[in-house]
Structure 1
Amino acid sequence: MKAKSKAQQKAAGAALSAKRGEIKKSELQGASVEMYETMTEEELDDMASTEREDLPDKIED
């Protein structure tokens, strides 16, 4: 699944770093905590690798 916003892509990158042990899970905030707990490393890698150029900053609910 590709990221739909720059914020989502950034959160996925943080969650991926925690999955890989590069940062502590306790350093995660907001959406990245839920992503860490519910997504696989492969899913996070796919979302984090989305090109940011054409993405909006945020998507409002």
Structure 2
Amino acid sequence: MPAKSQAQQMAAGAALSAKRGEKKVSELDGAAKQMYESMDEKELEKMASAKQKGKPKHDSKS
């Protein structure tokens, strides 16, 4: 599932970095920490890799 907003995409990227060991889990907060705990690396990769063009900065539905 691709990200619905730029903020969601950034959080997925941060969580993915932690999954890969490039970033400490203790540095994550909020949505990124939730994503780290609930999604696997493949799901995070899919969410973080979508293009940002045309996406709102924040999803207004959340």
Tell me whether the two structures share a fold, i.e. TM-score over 0.5.
Answer: yes
RMSD: 0.6
Match in the other structure for 2:48: 48
User: Structure 2 length as normaliser, TM-score?
Assistant: 0.95
5+ residue gaps in structure 1?
none
Give the percent of matched residue pairs that are identical in Structure 1 and Structure 2. Answer: 59
- Detail structure 1 runs of 4+ shifted over 4 Å in the superposition: none
Q: How many residue pairs align between the two structures?
A: 61
How far off its partner does 1:59 sit? 1.1
5+ residue gaps in structure 2?
none
Superposition pairs for residues 1-61 of structure 1, below 5 Å?
1-60=1-60, 61=62
